[in-house]
Amino acid sequence: MMKGTTLFCLFSSLVVVLFLSSVAADKDDQEDQQVYIVYLGALPSRDDYQPMSDHMSILQEVTQESSIENRLVRSYKRSFNGFATRFTESERNILARMERVVSVFPSRKLKLQTTSSWNFIGLKEGSKTKRNRSNERDTIIGVIDTGVYPESDSFSDQGFGPPPKKWNGTCAGGKNFTCNNKIIGARDYMSESKANQSARDYTGHGTHTASTAAGNAVADTSFYGLGNGTARGGVPAARIAVYKVCNNEGCSGEAIMSAFDDAIADGVDVITISIVLDNIPPFEEDPIAIGGFHAMAKGILTVNAAGNDGPKISTVTSTAPWVFSVAASITNRAFMTKVLLGDGKILVGRSVNTYDLNGTKYPLVYGKSAALSKCSLDKARLCEPKCLDGKRVKGKIVLCDSTKGPIEAQKLGAVGSIVKNPEPDRAYVRSFPVSFLSSDDYKSLISYMNSTKGPKATILKSEEISNQTAPLVVSFSSRGPSTIVSDILKPDITAPGVEILAAYSPDSSPTESEFDTRHVRFSVMSGTSMACPHVAGVAAYVKTFHPEWSPSMIQSAIMTTAWLMNASGPGFVSTEFAYGSGHVNPLAAIHPGLVYELTKADHIAFLCGLNYTSEHLRIISGDNITCTKERSKTLQRNLNYPTMSAKVSGTHPFNLTFHRTVTNVGKQNSTYKAEVVTSPGSKLRIKVLPRVLSMKSISEKQSFMVTVSGDSIGTKQPVSANIIWFDGTHHVRSPIVVYAMS
């Protein structure tokens, strides 16, 4: 996740700064102020209700100040009710006690997750893929991100008619931003003043994700010759609405709430949001879960990146069952970068290197051997800032034991850098020639240097290779199990997210480096950020064939038709907790046969079962709901979800049931039989009742029960199986996962 990582690091160091800047206190104020989101639930249905003036009067009541204009950061008033404001802690407490106020929580800082991929997953170019163009033209994808570069060929509106009739949004792109019939709407929530408001993308991230979901097909694109071919989105004829909630410094929770508020009322069909929280909050403090709930209630599917904090388990931050959470995979294309040594030997490393050293060999120096005397060898080995002697580094290729090392080497005038690579499964873009070597190759390079007088090498331009072992979940993709809901399998699905070529903003450089003078219209990025818009594109694609389908039907169709991925290796890391139901398969997803449907009421019952208080329920749903006794007995694992997962003690035998109901969306008079596939040596005993479902009509629903029993499974490894409903045509597959954790 080259860019992803840099953004991450940048964000984590900036969070503090941003937090401080939002603590801009009044001079006479004793206490510091902070931005809080004040959530008032659903909008009253009264015609005369004026949200803005209501928000102002609440503020006035709490602060007892006459002038409060600069306190109100923003109002949410289109799809739900609330506002963001600057408050001191004691004001917050007064406010929280007001009966009308559902909740007050600090606005969190969030972070971004950073062509051949569509072919790879089966959506081929041109007539090879069945499409409903007229419905595609009526589809609107809402992209909540860093804005877009509107002049990109991926967003040209050549051949596009006026926006669909249902479009209810506006172009408020601000300074130097013109919408067209492709980018039909734009809003910016990140600028401090109206004067410099702009939905223009100064990072590249939002341009990349928007074009991956719905960019036009653009022929002959490449990143300096790499990845050449046609770049395109999943639904190239669809429209894009842009909601800018992040800039170079990070993303804001209150802006995200605004973006959902607007996108829902604007009439988008699918929301893609490649942003995650940097911790794992409960749903009532998670703007993506809250916004996504309102979207779901209005028939809009929210697709979200799972996070880039893998391969550690329980790092997935996108955990709400009404949000579709996407893991990232390696595709069949990879970039590699050869290092040619003075003795003619070639080492094959990883990186996306567009620089050509023209075969000239340069002297090699190990960071450790170029240490300044004030610096420990351990730090110099990593090429840490202010640790290397510029005189011994300049004009050479510098070896660094850390992936951040090359930044310092370049600063001191090195011509290139070779790095020991801890994560060989993806390649990074860097601002000068770099190759990341496996530890073995790195070691052999050092022994070449040890045994040679005047060791030299050159770094070649990257080449493309085809990797036949793909797809596999990439190491950085966040893993389950969810710490918020133990019995819902997350992430849900896997899509390409490594070394993806897509449109980029030339207002930025392809790396974060100040030395990078390149400005490109297409670039290579990696991250669950890149996987997320692939699934949003597939969801939109499915919707063009089934415009009346609810978000849960689309989600179910994509999950139950996913390519099977195999659990491999010990532990949790390469199991369903990495890939969910499998690898997205768009062509199959338009004919799922059966779907698992969920309504708003089902999700509320689910939250009741989690013992949510009415207060927390109001925060999430906006409605005034009290959980009935019946609803409070709802077990998490009985949510009608397309996967089945349960946490058990691990030390005792268990016997669990899952209740499910499927809806026929295939053919009349079809008979489905249940097949259970357990992996060899699996200790699960699984019974399905009934084993046969006969569906007479379309939309008919039938229920079944799955009983899963087994002996103590220990905490080291989850156990899993698949249940497949098969009617001779459709394979409707759900993974079953049982696990224990210490």
The CA distance from 436 to 367, in Å, is 15
Nearer to ligand NAG, 71 or 618 (CB): 618
Q: Does 358 bind ligand NAG (CB under 6 A)?
A: yes
Quick check: 610 binds ligand NAG (CB under 6 A)? yes
Residue 392 burial (10 A CB sphere; 0-12, 13-18, 19+): middle
Position 547 contacts ligand NAG (CB under 6 A): yes
Q: Which residues contact 504 (CB under 8 A, 6 or more apart)?
A: 149, 204, 207, 208, 510, 520, 521, 522, 523, 525
Nearest residue (CB) to ligand NAG, 655 versus 679:
655
Task: Please pick, from the candidates 67, 70, 193, 699, the single residue that binds ligand NAG as defined by CB under 6 A.
Answer: 193
Could you say which of 45, 127, 195, 681 contacts ligand NAG (CB under 6 A)? Answer: 195
Determine the Cα angle at 361 with ends 358 and 366, to 5°. 130
78 binds ligand NAG per the rule CB under 6 A: yes
Contact status, residue 114 vs residue 63, Cβ threshold 8 Å? no
Residue 699 in the binding site for ligand NAG (CB under 6 A): no
504, 508, 514, 515: CA torsion to nearest 10: 60
Touching ligand NAG, residues 417-436 (CB under 6 A): 424-425
Which stretch, 127-135, 299-307, 525-533, 584-592, contacts ligand NAG (CB under 6 A)? 127-135
**Residue 114, CB half-sphere, CA atoms under 13 Å: how many?**
36
Q: How far is the CB of 686 from ligand NAG (least distance, A)?
A: 10
Question: Binding string to ligand NAG for residues 201 to 240, with x set by CB under 6 A, is what?
Answer: ---------------------------xx-----------
Please choose, from the candidates 269, 301, 74, the residue with its C-alpha nearest in 3D space to the C-alpha of residue 187: 74
Q: d(Cα 327, Cα 475) in Å, to the nearest integer?
A: 10
Tell me which stretch binds ligand NAG (CB under 6 A): 309-317, 381-389, 464-472, 489-497.
464-472
Contacts of 413 (CB under 8 A, 6+ apart): 390, 393, 394, 395
In the list 412, 446, 587, 676, the residue contacting ligand NAG (rule: CB under 6 A) is 446
Q: What is the dihedral of CA 604, 610, 612, 617, to 10 degrees?
A: -20
Contacts of 373 (CB under 8 A, 6+ apart): none
CA distance 85 to 88: 10
Closest CB to ligand NAG among 88 and 575?
A: 575
Q: How far apart are CA 248 and CA 199, in angstroms?
A: 13
Q: How far is the CB of 515 from ligand NAG (least distance, A)?
A: 14
> Strands, E, within 460-610: which ranges?
463-466, 472-473, 493-496, 500-503, 522-525, 594-596
Q: Is the peptide bond before 491 cis (omega within 30 degrees of 0)?
A: yes
Select the residue interacting with ligand NAG from 369, 467, 661, 712 (CB under 6 A): 467
By CB under 6 A, residue 450 contacts ligand NAG? yes
Residue number closest to ligand NAG, CB atom: 472
Residues designated catalytic = 145, 205, 529
Among positions 93, 178, 196, 703, the unique one binding ligand NAG when judged by CB under 6 A: 196
Give residues 320-349 in contact with ligand NAG (rule: CB under 6 A). 330, 334, 336
**Would you count residue 702 as binding ligand NAG (CB under 6 A)?**
no
**357 is an interface residue for ligand NAG by CB under 6 A:** yes
Stretch that binds ligand NAG, among 138-146, 205-213, 441-449, 530-538 (CB under 6 A): 441-449
The secondary structure of 637-694, three-state, reads HHCCCCCEEEECCCCCCEEEEEEEEEEECCCCCEEEEEEEEECCCCCCEEEEECCEEE
Question: Phi/psi at 492 (nearest 5 deg)?
Answer: -90, -35
Site mask, ligand NAG, residues 631-670, x = CB under 6 A? ------------------------x-x----------xx-
The whole-angstrom distance between residue 84's C-alpha and the CA centroid of its chain comes to: 25
Considering only residues 558-587, where is the footprint of ligand NAG by CB under 6 A?
none
Residue 43 CB neighbours (<10 A):
17
CB of 701 to ligand NAG, least distance (A): 17
Selected range binding ligand NAG among 106-114, 193-201, 237-245, 253-261, rule: CB under 6 A: 193-201
Whole-number Å distance between alpha carbons of 367 and 385:
11
**Alpha-carbon gap, residue 546 to 132, rounded angstroms:** 10
Residue 135 lies near ligand NAG (rule: CB under 6 A): yes
Binding site for ligand NAG (CB under 6 A): 78, 132, 134-135, 168, 176, 193, 195-196, 228-229, 265, 330, 334, 336, 356-358, 424-425, 443, 446-447, 450, 467, 469-470, 472, 507, 547, 610-611, 624, 655, 657, 668-669, 685, 707, 709
